[in-house]
Amino acid sequence: MSIWTRLYRHSNFGGNSTFASLPQMSPPTSYLRISKSWLSSASLHDRISSLRLGASRNEQAGYVALFQHARYKGRYAMFSVNGNSSRDIMNLQSQNFNDITSSVLIIRQNSVELPPIALGSLGRPGIRERIRDEVASNRRLRARGDPIITWDMWPNHAPSQKFVYIRVPVRVDVSGWFDYDAEIRFWIYLYVDAAGRARGHVAWYGCWVEGGIISGKIKDRLMDEIPSSIGDIQEMLDEALSSLSIFELSGLYLLPGRAQTVGHVEDDCSIVLVKRW
């Protein structure tokens, strides 16, 4: 049992190619990673123009997702396939994705899973809206755009884990000096607990501050203050995930963006819940 793909350098399945397959394993796994280095070794980095994909008879379904950048970032194009079938994508021009792929994921679907849910709008009000309100309540910060809810898959600081990644662009007010652009960052780890409920917690946090004479001081101040906001982030996360407690779950996995056919990983991050039965 497997979900597989063959990636080709030219349209109409021409040129050199590479094959990859996500087999059934114990414990089960949802992803097979095709990294930038894998593609480079096959002379296919930024050179994929067509692909084939398929799923064996005992598979439910699956996806092959192409990403513009390494580490499953940037724009994406996602192709689905049902069990006991295959698909031919003869030319990636129609997805505007010709010769730009730097990483690929093969993703397994389950027979008892629910439709993808975009996390940014989860809850009432949604997570994105609640973060905006938190920023507005801090007199030393101003919003510098909407919060970005995306993913960070197997990052260098936690290479075995997958995270929902929240980036909050802000402007820091500095009395008697120029204001500084900054970004507050949270890595959210999602899981299913022993009772079959979706849970999550802030596993890591950090920030970025634009360069300048006192950027180091601004960064130190933010890193000192961020822990006091983790409780608020945790509360909004718990409330949002509580709305998913209708079903008893066996697992969950993430999809890029709003799980549409094409998009950008910074459009959102979607969660797929797998029911226990």
pLDDT digits 0-9 by tens, 127-172: 999 999 888 888 888 999 999 999 999 999 999 999 999 999 999 9
pLDDT reading at 26 higher than 70: no
Neighbours of 82 (CB within 10 A): 14
Residue type at position 118: A
Q: How remote is the C-alpha of 228 from its chain's centroid?
A: 26
Q: Give the span between the Cα atoms of 160 and 153, in whole angstroms.
A: 9
For helices 227-242 and 127-136, angle between their N-to-C axes, nearest 10 degrees: 150
Q: What is the pLDDT of residue 8?
A: 98
What backbone torsions phi and psi does residue 274 show, to the nearest 5 degrees?
-105, 115
Class in CATH terms, 2-109: mainly beta
Domain range summary for the chain, segments of one domain joined by +:
2-109, 117-242
* Confidence (pTM): 0.94
pLDDT digits 0-9 by tens, 212-222: 999 999 999 99
